[in-house]
Structure 1
Amino acid sequence: MKDNPLLQPFNEAPFEQIKTDHFKPAIEQAIKAAKAEIETITSSTEATTFQNVIEALEFSGEQLDRITSIFFNLNSAETNEDIQRIAQEVSPWLTDFKNDLLLNETLFKKVDAVFQQQKELDLTSEQQMLLDKKYKAFVRNGANLSHEDKDALREIDKQLSKLSLTFGEHVLAETNRYELHITDEAKLSGLPEGTKEAAAQLAKSKDKEGWIFTLDYPSYVPFMKYADNRELRKELSIAFGAKGFHGDELDNQEIVLEITSLRHQRANLLGFDTHADFVLAERMAKSPQGVQNFLLDLLQKAKPAAIREFNELTDFAKELDQLPFLEKWDGAYYAEKLKKKRFNLDDEALKPYFRLENVINGVFTVAQKLFGLTFKQVDNIEVYHKEVKTYHVLDAEGEFVSLFYADFHPRPGKRGGAWMTSYKPQSIRDGNNDRPHVSIVCNFTKPTASKPSLLTFNEVTTLFHEFGHALHGMLANTTYPSLSGTSVYWDFVELPSQMLENWCYEPEALALFATHYETGEVIPTEYVEKIKASCNFHEGMQTLRQLSFGMLDMAWHGEDPGEVTNVKEHENSAFEQTKLYPDVNENCMSTSFAHIFQGGYSAGYYSYKWAEVLDADAFAYFQEEGIFNTEVSRKFKDFVLSQGGTVDPMELYVRFRGRKPDPNALLKRAGLLPG
């Protein structure tokens, strides 16, 4: 054990010292240590207090949390078959440990004793929130169940942990095994030079002639947007939409049915009608009906605009190429051409102004102007891949705020998408404010032999989005780690991220970083005006698309899935109200919907739209006072970013804004309502 770096004291994660075979023994040992800490709490004969039960419980298992955060983050960002195998082995151990803790009758009696005497304890509001959270964690995870039902719950949780991992492994394997190999240059018509160069570079790296396109976003998206060859767009689109839906060893259909069935059984065991009822009891939306009402209200307001936009796009394609009707592989292609015609704006023309390094500096400058932060790149922090960059984050007084990791480009061992994560939470203990270590992981356009990494505007907004989450983690200033940073209600967690995206559309912010990578010229005013003018382009269709994902999530988790035998049919039924394009028989979204079957968004995908209402209203406040107004920035930092989950989110929002959010703010910003 002495040569295992994970079992030695460390501050920064010792990535470069870790070998894959260190993980299992380290996790095993850390579980034993955490159990010993729990045993100390339960065996104590002292009078039960908030400090010796609730606080002791809160700060237990710290070593285990650090080790598993490193391991599972690597399983997402830099995995391999050995790591995946270990994940399958250790996940049941961790599930057992969690259930041993939450179903520990002696421990629950002590927690309950503190909970029952809370009125006499003179707790701070943060201590009260921690007590409520700990008590609910036990009750919501079976503390009051019979022994028989507790055993059933344990088995369900163990199965769910393994199924979720397998689901994600299948999606990653599907993504990695597909490639569109082209040797005839004529078939690349319409594609930008940078896209072709990246595809040629990938082919060369695989010792192949020609060009290779993959299902990674930086390869897939430009192909669907610009390739004139409709048959190849169709092939790539179908491959993208068929992940986990081939009826082979990587098929996820049965896994989807098993996961949803087990989640439903689990909710029933705990006294809830559905998994959504269980989840939403701890969300701002409160109930499945609250979510459904929210989604249907937005649907009613967005659908007329979406239908109008879709018909307009259909007519445009008919006029341009005599296309009788649009298929899914036509949407991005003709939308880009229509956007260019209407606004004289081409995403490719914008890319030279969004060199990755400049955009990174831009988001840092925005954070400096808003919150007084500075970012100093450091090269003495261990990383898990040579592409990962590390920064010390300092406040206006030069005090250390956070360690920040950034990982920007696709790799075979990295899952798709973009996310923020944490290697160490912020907390205050014995007077010491222990600062967080946060990370963002993305899949942006890679540099080529002749060009640096030049981002699409969508990638720019994605970087700002994930950085907004990172700020929520960096600026945390709470006592307890489980209430710190992004440890908030799931339908509140997207507020800081979606909020920060707004600065991408503001001339004053763009002038800080949008400069041509060759000439240094600041992005022309006319381009900024076009970005602003086009920001609501096809907003109706985009809203419908997001609503369709939320409705699919609720179709799986807001009702009894026991009668569902056909994943595709159930999905089509959920999409009925939001359908614009003809269905594609070979495709199924559910089998690769990682947000809800691998990530933490089950019964929570609506959160993106819910938080958009908050962010539209919050940013309107900045627009009224100035987008870099120091007083509004201070309020957002003090009342939202630093408070974590210590206060009810609506109360935090009201403290910041002075009132509850205007539900029409989003519709106004999206151009779906006048005003």
Structure 2
Amino acid sequence: MTNPLLSAWDTPFELPPFDRITDADFEPAFHAALDDTRAAIAAITDTPDAPTFANTVEALELADAPLDRVLGVFYNVAGSDSTPAREELQRMFSPLLAAFSSEVTMNADLFQRIEALWQARDTLGLTDEQARVLMLTRRRFVRSGALLEGADRDRLKEVLERLASLGTEFTQNLLADERSWFMPLAEGDLDGLPEFVTDAARAAGTEKGVDGPAVTLSRSVITPFLQHSTRRDLRRKAYEAYTARGANGGDTDNRAIAAETLSLREERARLLGYDSFAAFKLETEMAGTPDRVRDLLMQVWEPAREAANKDAVRMTEMLHADGHNGELEPWDWHFYAERRREAEHDLDEAEIKPFLQLDRMIEASFDTANRLFGLEFAPLDVTLYHPDARAWEVTRDGQHVAVFVGDYFARGSKRSGAWCSAMRSQQKLAGDIRPIVVNVCNFAKPEDGQPGLLSWDDARTLFHEFGHALHQMLSDVTYSSISGTSVARDFVELPSQLYEHWLEVPEVLGKFATHARTGEAMPKALLDKLLAASTHDTGFQTVEFLSSAIVDLDFHDGAAPADPMEAQAATLERIGMPSAIRMRHATPHFAHVFAGDGYSSGYYSYMWSEVMDADAFDAFTETGDAFDPAMAVKLEEHILSKGGSVDAADLYTAFRGRLPGVDPLLKGRGLA
């Protein structure tokens, strides 16, 4: 029978035919697509014709289309709905793809053609976009070892293949720990839990096959439990299980993987002529150097630490008033922070949450995109990879723009966190190719027949990931290698973090924050209290983030540590980490850094982008209209549509007229 991954997709918008794809199709499709891509590369190098931009760079852009098609489906499905078969395929594909990438970028004949074009670039009559693609292509080859020879070249191939395998293993170990742990709750274990938390716990228990409520390691389940449970012993048990992910010993322990990964990254950087992996990695980012990153992080660290320590004093008093002696512990923080919010802002999450319905927040994100960019969203009746996933056609002025897929609920087969990806990216080289964009989240799934309810943090996550989706949808470039979110790592979070600001625009919540039972709009008094408390606990949140970012930078800025856990502890001691706060992502479960090298030396990127997003939203508020049409046009024209076709600093300067300083960020976090 014809493999559905290799045949034409006669489906709406050429969506993958998920009703016909099985796990058995992926491996033969992968090898066939790899062979086709290899043949396309050979055709570029075998031609007797002199190199041109069209027969070399553009041909290279098109060469991996068969592979992108297969892997665009596979990796989206494997990350959001894993099976043992898919996990085995990931372990198989990762080193093969790393080896093939090295095969291409270390292809001397292919690089010779690219280098010839680079040397003659001023005579080729290239457009600005083509010149940018040529520069990025050459840089990618050089940074992948194209200039290495002999033993160094062979060793770099081995290092990259091993790193790919380690990243896959790290991810799967983390998923296994998250999937296996849960804590059933008896009737007496529900003390202090509001109805929305017990409802989420019952749904989690059903998913785990438990007759009754349970706490899992999904953030949308464990965080509200930590905020509301009066059972300090159970809070500790749940919290320590959450922070122990990847460090439980046995086959799923990630500590040795982290150590080997850091060692191999250092070796990779030195083979390529860099002093450290951080120097190698940051060369292509807006920040440029480890020193510039460290300067930003430490500018924010001291005021954040001071704010967190002040909050800890107040919460320690509350702890003692409850009859508990000793110090405030990490499993106490969420609980007493919630009590502080109730006391200082007269704000109870149990009062807020019924107004933050998942479907209404999706509508809010769509309506905001409509008001800013004229986009419209219509539900699609199509078969997707999981029953929880749903799809919409995105149009503007009646013209198709994209297909958007939302997969919002946590499940044991889905890796943790939230992300945006594309099954197909926008490009024009092979025709007017429109994207298929996917947002994946891990919100607590409600019981059957009940509406999904979000925390304020969940609602921000939904807007954040949709900001990434808009970056993909509104992309308007010729070449897929610079499409959508294919930008500098410390620029990619700008559109997503900027979009979060519209959630806090009063008229957005005023329209879409409606009660799950009564349908009534959130009362203005409650809305005002919610927005007034927007900087509540930001000392904790900033310290939790920054400590992870600083540890990440320390890991990679210099010699790799023999024992990452000791190195992590040394960094935290050096910066004066408050004892009642732990890193947001400790090393054994720091997937941003160790599941691949996307955010390695780059976890700071969220903060770097936040400097810009705070300033960028000021551009709207300065007009007096958060939906100012002229400013929205500038945002799309200079940032969202451009992908990586222009240097990130130039894109921001074109939008804002200058680069920002750190003050808007500190003000936005209430740390000024």
1:145 matched residue in structure 2? 148
Q: 1:569 aligns with which of 563, 566, 570?
A: 566
2:193 matched residue in structure 1? 191
1:250 matched residue in structure 2? 252
Q: 2:329 aligns with which of 327, 330, 333?
A: 327
SS at match of 1:535: coil
Question: Contact 2:203 / 2:445 at 8 angstroms: preserved in 1?
Answer: no
| In structure 2, C-alpha distance between the alignment counterparts of 1:247 and 1:566, rounded to whole Å | 15
Matched, 1:270 2:272: yes
1:37 matched residue in structure 2? 40
1:418 matched residue in structure 2? 418
Question: Contact 1:355 / 1:454 at 8 angstroms: preserved in 2?
Answer: yes
Once the two structures are overlaid, the 10-residue window that deviates more, 297-306 or 72-81, is: 297-306
2:453 matched residue in structure 1? 454
Note the C-alpha offset of 1:216: 1.1
Tell me the alpha carbon deviations over residues 603-628 of structure 1, each in whole angstroms, 9 at most, x when there is no partner. 10000111111000000111111101
2:72 matched residue in structure 1? 69
Matched, 1:97 2:100: yes
Question: Contact 2:220 / 2:458 at 8 angstroms: preserved in 1?
Answer: no
Tell me the alpha carbon deviations over residues 389-441 of structure 1, each in whole angstroms, 9 at most, x when there is no partner. 0110001x1100001110000111100111000000100126x3211110000
SS at match of 1:575: helix
Task: Give structure 1 stretches of 5+ with no counterpart.
Answer: none
Q: 1:232 aligns with which of 230, 234, 237?
A: 234
Change (3 A) 1:82 1:608: same
Note the C-alpha offset of 1:540: 2.2
Q: 1:46 aligns with which of 36, 44, 49?
A: 49
Once the two structures are overlaid, the 10-residue window that deviates more, 144-153 or 110-119, is: 144-153
Count the aligned residue pairs: 665
| In structure 1, C-alpha distance between the alignment counterparts of 2:441 and 2:604, rounded to whole Å | 22
Question: Contact 2:333 / 2:580 at 8 angstroms: preserved in 1?
Answer: no
2:515 matched residue in structure 1? 516
Change (3 A) 1:660 1:206: closer
1:601 matched residue in structure 2? 599
Note the C-alpha offset of 1:290: 1.2
| In structure 1, C-alpha distance between the alignment counterparts of 2:237 and 2:264, rounded to whole Å | 35
1:429 matched residue in structure 2? 429
SS at match of 1:492: helix
1:132-171, aligned counterparts within 5 Å? 132-171=135-174
Q: 1:291 aligns with which of 287, 290, 293?
A: 293
Question: Contact 1:505 / 1:531 at 8 angstroms: preserved in 2?
Answer: no
Question: Contact 1:310 / 1:541 at 8 angstroms: preserved in 2?
Answer: no
Runs of 4+ in 1 over 6 A off after TM superposition: none
Note the C-alpha offset of 1:582: 5.1
Note the C-alpha offset of 1:9: 2.4
Change (3 A) 1:588 1:371: closer
SS at match of 1:422: strand
Q: 1:620 aligns with which of 613, 618, 621?
A: 618
Note the C-alpha offset of 1:75: 1.5
| In structure 1, C-alpha distance between the alignment counterparts of 2:268 and 2:208, rounded to whole Å | 46
Tell me the alpha carbon deviations over residues 569-604 of structure 1, each in whole angstroms, 9 at most, x when there is no partner. 21111222151125889x981001101101421010
1:495 matched residue in structure 2? 494
Matched, 1:58 2:61: yes
| In structure 2, C-alpha distance between the alignment counterparts of 1:583 and 1:505, rounded to whole Å | 27
Q: Which residue identity does 2:614 align to in structure 1?
A: A
Note the C-alpha offset of 1:211: 2.4
| In structure 2, C-alpha distance between the alignment counterparts of 1:204 and 1:543, rounded to whole Å | 35
SS at match of 2:409: coil
| In structure 1, C-alpha distance between the alignment counterparts of 2:544 and 2:177, rounded to whole Å | 24
Question: Contact 2:416 / 2:442 at 8 angstroms: preserved in 1?
Answer: yes
Note the C-alpha offset of 1:445: 2.0
Tell me the alpha carbon deviations over residues 51-98 of structure 1, each in whole angstroms, 9 at most, x when there is no partner. 111111111110101111211121210111111111111222211111
| In structure 2, C-alpha distance between the alignment counterparts of 1:152 and 1:275, rounded to whole Å | 16
SS at match of 1:403: strand
Change (3 A) 1:204 1:387: closer
2:589 matched residue in structure 1? 592
Q: Which residue identity does 1:447 align to in structure 2?
A: P
2:111 matched residue in structure 1? 108
Tell me the alpha carbon deviations over residues 327-356 of structure 1, each in whole angstroms, 9 at most, x when there is no partner. 000000000000111001111111111111
Note the C-alpha offset of 1:194: 2.4
Change (3 A) 1:161 1:422: same
2:281 matched residue in structure 1? 279
SS at match of 2:491: coil
Q: Which residue identity does 2:106 align to in structure 1?
A: L
Note the C-alpha offset of 1:207: 5.1
Change (3 A) 1:554 1:484: same
Note the C-alpha offset of 1:544: 1.6
| In structure 2, C-alpha distance between the alignment counterparts of 1:48 and 1:449, rounded to whole Å | 61
Change (3 A) 1:360 1:204: closer
SS at match of 2:377: strand
Q: Which residue identity does 2:646 align to in structure 1?
A: V
Q: Which residue identity does 1:468 align to in structure 2?
A: G
Note the C-alpha offset of 1:182: 2.4
Change (3 A) 1:110 1:208: closer
Matched, 1:378 2:380: yes
SS at match of 1:161: helix
Question: Contact 2:483 / 2:644 at 8 angstroms: preserved in 1?
Answer: yes
RMSD of the TM alignment (CA)?
1.6
| In structure 2, C-alpha distance between the alignment counterparts of 1:337 and 1:120, rounded to whole Å | 67
Q: Which residue identity does 2:621 align to in structure 1?
A: Q
Sequence identity (%): 37
Q: Which residue identity does 2:424 align to in structure 1?
A: K
Tell me the alpha carbon deviations over residues 212-264 of structure 1, each in whole angstroms, 9 at most, x when there is no partner. 21111222111111110000100011111111112211111110001111111
Q: Which residue identity does 2:588 align to in structure 1?
A: T
| In structure 2, C-alpha distance between the alignment counterparts of 1:634 and 1:473, rounded to whole Å | 16
SS at match of 2:311: helix
Question: Contact 2:196 / 2:350 at 8 angstroms: preserved in 1?
Answer: no
Task: Give structure 2 stretches of 5+ with no counterpart.
Answer: none
Question: Contact 1:245 / 1:588 at 8 angstroms: preserved in 2?
Answer: no
Note the C-alpha offset of 1:193: 1.5
| In structure 2, C-alpha distance between the alignment counterparts of 1:31 and 1:640, rounded to whole Å | 34
Normalised by the size of structure 1, how large is the TM-score?
Answer: 0.96
1:387-402, aligned counterparts within 5 Å? 387-395=388-396, 397-402=397-402
Once the two structures are overlaid, the 10-residue window that deviates more, 331-340 or 313-322, is: 313-322
Note the C-alpha offset of 1:297: 1.6
Question: Contact 1:426 / 1:485 at 8 angstroms: preserved in 2?
Answer: yes
Question: Contact 1:88 / 1:162 at 8 angstroms: preserved in 2?
Answer: yes
Q: Which residue identity does 1:22 align to in structure 2?
A: D
Change (3 A) 1:204 1:303: closer
Change (3 A) 1:424 1:449: closer
Note the C-alpha offset of 1:383: 0.6
